[in-house]
Amino acid sequence: MKFLSTVLAAFALIAATANGSPMLRMEAEGKSKSQQQTQQSSTSSSACNLSGTYKAGTDISSCSSVTIGSLTVPAGVTLDLSKAKSGATITFTGTTTFGTQKWADPLVLLGGSNLSVKGSGTLDGQGAWYWKQGQSIARPVFFRLQNVASSTLSGFTLKNSPFRTFSLVTTRTALT
């Protein structure tokens, strides 16, 4: 029941912020690669930091804590947190913005057991770009939880969902 109230609160928050900020695309702004931030990840230790521009294939499997600061995820790329170490803490501290593209994969993919996903950060799915194009286009699910067990999600804000906010696939035991 606690999970249901959390999901309902998330949906209410999404509805309240449906007219959020405009789309932020590096290419649309005309920034060159040298002007774009690069992702900073210290995945060799147990504490990892992600900021700048996310790179597909970033390995967080050895990280006991992952801090996600201000991060831009390029269009057509999933922020892949599916190989999180068991018991890891994932903390959103900045604004994570997703590039826009017609596709059906999730913007965020989370997997693992005994995870704590939290923080004061904001994830912006750039929904307005999708909404203007009608309902017949391919749209990403915002946050897919796949093979998640005994984990907690709290505190961070999801806004401007392109399609469904949460997708639960093969989740087990307590999820709050």
Residue type, position 65, single letter? S
Q: Which residues of 31-69 are buried (b: 16+ CB within 10 A; e: fewer)?
A: eeeeeeeeeebebeeeebbbbbbbeeebebeebebbbbb
**Distance from C-alpha of 20 to C-alpha of 27, rounded to nearest angstrom:** 20
Q: Residue 102 belongs to what domain range? A: 2-175
Answer for the pair 97, 52: CB distance below 8 angstroms, yes or no. no
Which own/partner pairs from 43-46 qualify as long-range (CB within 8 Å, at least 24 positions apart)? none
**How many separate domains does the chain show?**
1
| CATH code: domain of residue 113 | 2.160.20.10
**Distance from C-alpha of 21 to C-alpha of 173, rounded to nearest angstrom:** 36
pTM of the model: 0.75
Tokens of 46: 């147990």
Answer for the pair 133, 99: CB distance below 8 angstroms, yes or no. no
Answer for the pair 166, 142: CB distance below 8 angstroms, yes or no. yes
**Distance from C-alpha of 9 to C-alpha of 14, rounded to nearest angstrom:** 9
pLDDT, one tens digit for every residue, the chain (176 residues): 444 444 444 444 333 333 333 333 333 334 433 333 334 444 445 999 999 999 999 999 999 999 999 999 999 999 999 999 999 999 999 999 999 999 999 999 999 999 999 999 999 999 999 999 988 899 999 999 999 999 999 999 999 999 888 888 887 776 66
- pLDDT of the residue at 166: 83
